[in-house]
Amino acid sequence: MADQKYDWSYFKRRIYINNSSSRELFRKWATPGGITEWFIEFATYTDSEGVKRKPEEIVQAGDKYKWVFHRGSEVEGEVLEVVEDSLFKFTFGEKDPHSDEDVIVTVTFHDRDGKVWFDVLQDNMSDSNYSRVYYHISCNMGWIFHMNNMKSILSCGHDLRVKGVKRMHVDAPSAYPLEGYEWTSFKQKEYIKAPLKEVFLKWATPKGITEWFIKDAEYESQDGKIRKGDETVKSNDKYTWQFYSGLVMKGTILDVVPNSSFKFTFGKKEPGSDIDVVGNVSLNEKDGITEIELTQSNIADNEYGKEKYNLSCIVGWSYFMTNLRSIFESGFDYREKDENLAEESTAYCLEE
């Protein structure tokens, strides 16, 4: 089959936030104090005369910034454009190593027909492997987490960031180093402060998996019986998963080891193929923390596989696995459950 074409030069993410306003959201981005409440640990903005902005002061075009994240990484750049309550635009690193061009992020704020949201457009990225991995995959994961962290903070006061720990919100070991990135499989880890048995049931029962991942789940045993909501699924069960976005997936549970692992098919390697993409979840508990390691493999080594199963699924699992942690930590389910809004909120690339 011919490789599918995907535009790796940009992506656009959207999030709807209740009980807020475009004015409040703008200030969460455009003031030094506001941006540290949900995104970074420290923020310094300096104007053209070298004067540092105050925490509550709206930054201006031409300001230089330095951001320090909780995991220790730093980003420096420039504010390009600020329109109060409407737009915030800034540079976000070099397009490629030693490039003279910058990646650009434009945030726009909207308050219309009772809905409040903002869009993050990241563009001017190259089609190099470096840019695909570092900017398109890594930044997509990052924006998913931090945008939903703002939603969590404004909705229930819970900050999802892991402070004082040198790890990402969702670790993606296969994404680093950038050179030699493995496109045919990936691995992610999340850490849940909950007993392993409870985490396992969130994956391996029809009721549990709908509480953080999908809208409806039906499992049919080999003898044609439908599993009850609190019943642990078994190897060779057939599943039907329906998402809030309207997407329906069908597949097979390949293996279930109680309180240890959950393995399943997750679509076909490519259209017309008989080979399944496979997801495998392994669970381990240490010091009251349950580590979830999710591996997805059998991804096609072409543009279709890179877009549909590597990028798209990394983004998706980052969204949902962090939501699982959110539910255990605060009880807050940040999924957008309106079908139309859900499709926009979880899409990794929206049309202009």
Reported as type and span, the H/E element at residue 19 is none
Instruction: Tell me if the pTM is above 0.75.
Output: yes
Describe the strand order of the beta sheet including 87-94 as a list of residue ranges.
11-16, 115-123, 102-112, 87-94, 74-83, 64-68, 42-46
Most confidently predicted of 192-206, 300-314, 331-345:
192-206
Percent of the chain, pLDDT > 90?
A: 81
Region 226-232 average pLDDT: 98
Beta bridge partner(s), residue 115: 112
256 and 227 Cβ atoms separated by less than 8 Å = no
Q: Band of the pLDDT at 162, cuts 50, 70, 90? A: confident
The residue whose two tokens read 């807050």 is 332
Show the DSSP H helices in the chain as ranges. 22-30, 32-36, 129-131, 138-156, 196-204, 206-210, 303-304, 312-330, 339-346
Full set of structural domains in the chain with CATH: 11-156 (3.30.530.20), 173-346 (3.30.530.20)
Amino acid 70: pLDDT: 82
